[in-house]
């Protein structure tokens, strides 16, 4: 089968890719070198596969001047390896695009029917706005790859590229017929599948991939551990943020309660002292009030002794002036300032004010007044 002229199919002929795949397939290649080669081949393929990424001009500032220069536009790239083997290619693509988001899709193949089955699928959101690079080192029958792409499309994926290192013609044909819109990139095309639906080796046999399952498993375990670490870090961060948000909400709620409580208490306090002032006005109409004024005047005179004292009564008590003077034998002065009621006495030689006015006493009590029990918030 010749796929060279097929749209959306790229069979790499780059010398570096061919060279590294040959070393990869050599049975004498060690595990660490195998793992490194998978990453390097993925990077070389990714360099070619990502050649059509969209760009936009952005302004940057160089050491010399500001200028417009192209940078990759749109949502961050999504890399979706088919578990587990596809994980080995992820570091190579990430080396090119470190900001890419990584998803996972898990497929396994029935050993008798060779039919693939999905067991896991987690994709970066929003997947429909991202260019998606799906990775799997081998494309044999094409079943796993076809089903993986189908699953990604069902989740909303649209702009999809598929990268593999080794492929069989049967797999390429099936893949392209099922998903002709997906760009397929193949590092090496083998001649056909064997009776077990595996790819033949060009010379020594294709079992080399299976012989390095340990390396692929290690990649999987490392990747799983890193994903778990990132998840735990994210959970801790989200838990901390949730606690902070809760504390802020509680603080805001408590502040609002205090504010409302303070407003209600202030309104009650004002009402209490308005009622107190009404009671004072009622008291000022009684004989007891007259006795109170006389006692205050006598007390001021006694306190002054031989020093002259000026005794002021409120303007509202002006009609009582003569009676109070007769009862106390003290000259009284009507104050120009309204202090509600009571008496104010001034001993100027000693710079003393004896303030028995209702206005001053009410103000003092108003300033000292608080509701028992605090603000009611523990």
Closest CA to 163 of 25, 15, 43: 43
Percent above pLDDT 90 for the chain: 52
pLDDT tens for 212-226 read 556 556 666 776 677
Condensed to tens digits (0 to 9), the pLDDT of residues 244-297 reads 888 888 888 888 888 888 888 888 888 988 998 899 999 999 999 999 999 999
Q: Which ranges of 179-212 does DSSP label H, i.e. alpha helix?
A: 208-211
Threshold 0.85, pTM exceeds: no
Q: Measure the CA–CA gap between 259 and 262, rounded to whole angstroms.
A: 5
Which one, of 127, 185, 180, 184, lies nearest residue 158 by Cα?
Answer: 127
User: What are the structural domains of the chain?
Assistant: 9-211 (3.40.50.2020), 284-368 (3.30.2320.30)
Would you say the C-alpha torsion 247, 248, 251, 253 has a positive or negative sign?
Answer: negative
CA distances from 137 to 156, 164, 185, 188, 249 (A): 24, 5, 11, 10, 51
Q: What is the pLDDT of residue 74?
A: 81
61-70, 86-95, 223-232, range with the lowest pLDDT: 223-232
User: Residues, the chain, total?
Assistant: 378
d(CA 59, CA 70): 9
Using the predicted structure, report yes or no on whether residue 373 has a pLDDT greater than 60.
no
């Amino acid at each position: 089968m010749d796929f060279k002229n097929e749209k959306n199919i790229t069979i790499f002929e780059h010398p570096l890719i061919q060279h590294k795949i040959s070393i990869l397939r050599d049975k004498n290649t060690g595990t660490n070198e195998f793992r490194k080669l998978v990453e390097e081949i993925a990077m070389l393929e990714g360099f070619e596969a990502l050649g059509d990424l969209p760009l936009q001009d952005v302004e940057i500032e160089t050491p010399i001047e500001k200028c417009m220069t192209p940078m990759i536009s749109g949502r961050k790239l999504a890399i979706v390896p088919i578990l587990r083997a596809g994980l080995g290619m992820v570091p190579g693509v990430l080396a090119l695009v470190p900001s890419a988001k990584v998803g996972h899709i898990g497929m396994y193949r029935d050993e008798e029917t060779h039919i693939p089955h999905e067991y896991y699928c987690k994709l970066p959101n929003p997947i429909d706005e991202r260019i998606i690079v799906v990775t799997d080192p081998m494309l044999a029958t094409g079943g796993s790859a076809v089903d993986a792409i189908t699953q990604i499309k069902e989740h909303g994926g649209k702009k999809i590229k598929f990268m593999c290192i080794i492929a069989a013609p049967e797999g390429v044909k099936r893949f392209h017929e099922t998903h002709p819109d997906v760009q397929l990139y193949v590092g090496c095309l083998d001649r056909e599948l064997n009776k077990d639906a595996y790819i033949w080796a060009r010379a020594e046999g294709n079992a080399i991939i299976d012989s390095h399952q340990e390396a692929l498993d290690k990649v999987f375990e490392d990747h799983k551990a890193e994903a778990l670490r990132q998840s735990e870090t994210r959970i801790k961060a989200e838990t901390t943020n949730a606690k902070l948000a809760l504390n802020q909400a509680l603080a805001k709620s408590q502040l609002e309660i205090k504010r409302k409580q303070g407003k209600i208490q202030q309104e009650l306090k004002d009402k209490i002292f308005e009622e107190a002032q009404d009671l004072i006005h009622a008291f000022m109409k009684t004989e007891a009030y007259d006795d109170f004024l006389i006692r205050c005047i006598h007390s001021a005179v006694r306190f002054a002794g031989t020093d002259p004292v000026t005794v002021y009564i409120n303007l509202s008590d002006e009609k009582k002036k003569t009676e109070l003077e007769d009862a106390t034998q003290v000259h009284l002065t009507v104050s120009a300032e309204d202090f509600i009621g009571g008496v104010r006495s001034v001993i100027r030689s000693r710079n003393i004010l004896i303030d028995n006015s209702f206005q001053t006493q009410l103000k003092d009590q108003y300033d000292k007044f608080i509701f028992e029990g605090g603000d009611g918030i523990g």
